[in-house]
Amino acid sequence: MRYLILGILLSLGTIPAASAQCQQQSIRSQLTSVSERMSEIGYPMIYLTYCGSMGKSDSQFHDLELYGGVAYKIFAVCDGDCPDLDLKLYDEKGNLVDEDTLEDYTPIVEVSPTAPTRYRAKVIMYECETEPCYYAIRAVAE
């Protein structure tokens, strides 16, 4: 039932899933590539996408309203100018739920809320060779 409801919401366009909001071609290509890999491992539904830019050592928060009873993977990608991008996920109370701080440019965190919950994803531009560096964050669901 949860898949039916989420599928209906996605098809109605009530969830901002389009990557058209990301203007950089390198970001759109990476979003597509990582989303295809996520689909292959059981996360075929694109739930939401946010895009932005920032400099070295900057960070940006994005609020995520997630449905209960659905498993999500949340990932970030960056243009070719940032060799290290990190991602942290916090619950409504500010508690760290998951983080990926490996030295790479595609961090991935996951969460499976039992009820509808608001999370805050923090994207951290650990390194940026040519400012500003462009990034995107996307949540995909089972």
pLDDT above 60: residue 13: no
pLDDT above 60: residue 20: no
* Global confidence as pTM: 0.85
Taking residues 88-117, report their average pLDDT.
97
pLDDT of residue 10: 42
pLDDT of residue 42: 98
pLDDT above 80: residue 24: yes
CB-facing half-sphere around the CA of 2: CA atoms within 13 A: 15
CA dihedral 111, 14, 107, 124 (to 10 degrees): -110
pLDDT above 90: residue 30: yes
Domain 2-141: state its class.
mainly beta
What ranges do the domains of the chain cover?
2-141
pLDDT of residue 9: 44
Side chain identity at residue 56, one-letter code: K
Pick the more confident residue, 11 or 56. 56
